[in-house]
Chain A
Amino acid sequence: MSSSQSFHHILTCSDRYEFYSSFAIWPEEVRSDLRAGVKAKQQGNLALSRKLLTQCVLPYLCASAVIETRVKSSPDRFIAPPRPVFALALFETVGDGNHSLRGT
């Protein structure tokens, strides 16, 4: 292996380490899917990326979205729910329906 190849290898390993370490704030059970989702995005596989990221990220955003749809009339809200239908659309059109807000 030439010196430039070694240097490239070291850089690649370093990048890989940083790439994986940035997921440490997420629960262990979803990390592999998150990594795969980001990788799929970088590779242009949007359908796969969307599926993987949605199933991991959605549960964490659901609580916020539930509040969005339930407190429509509160006058002192920081942000009135501008288009709750859009938020609902996200939850209804992605994944396998397990994370749908309907019925929550």
Chain B
Amino acid sequence: MAITLCEVLEQDNKPKEAYGGYIAALEHLRKNRSALTSEERLRAISLGQRLGEMADKYQLGEAEEERWLTWSVEEVLKLAKDIGSSGPRENSEEGNLVLSDLELPKWVTVTDIGAPLETLGGFYARTGRLT
């Protein structure tokens, strides 16, 4: 619901407010990390990616952008590790239902686990840090 609100703010041409909202939403998810499903953790990663994109788009500085993108990569790696070491997939029907009902933007769902790595790699290439 927080993402829906922030999307409204973005559409209403209030990017700063949306940015603040996304940060608050991510922080909320992070604080409850142990209770999150894999789906919700992916949503948090998507939020990190989105914040990185916005930091670039609104010229908030490379350090700001790097912080979000780095966190997303670290989190996706942790998630991959946790999924690999866990048992059968949990039932995510409820999460899917909420997502589809709210018509959240496509970026909310990370479909490619390599996407955060690719984005961070692109950031380093763009900023001239190739090593």
Contact = CB atoms under 8 A, between A and B. Distances in A.
Contacts of A83: 19-20, 23, 60, 64
Given A50-B12, A86-B20, A79 B1 contact: no
Interface of B: 1-2, 4-5, 7-9, 11-12, 14, 16-21, 23-28, 30-31, 55, 60, 64, 67-68, 71, 97-98, 100-103
A90 B20 contact: yes
A38 B100 CA distance: 12
Given A61-B2, A87-B21, 20 more contacts: A22-B102, A46-B8, A50-B8, A53-B4, A54-B5, A56-B1, A60-B28, A64-B24, A64-B27, A64-B31, A68-B24, A68-B27, A78-B71, A79-B26, A79-B27, A80-B67, A86-B19, A86-B20, A86-B23, A88-B20
A86 B21 CA distance: 8
Interface of A: 18-19, 21-22, 26, 34, 37-38, 41-42, 46-47, 49-50, 53-54, 56-57, 60-61, 63-65, 67-68, 78-83, 86-91, 93-94
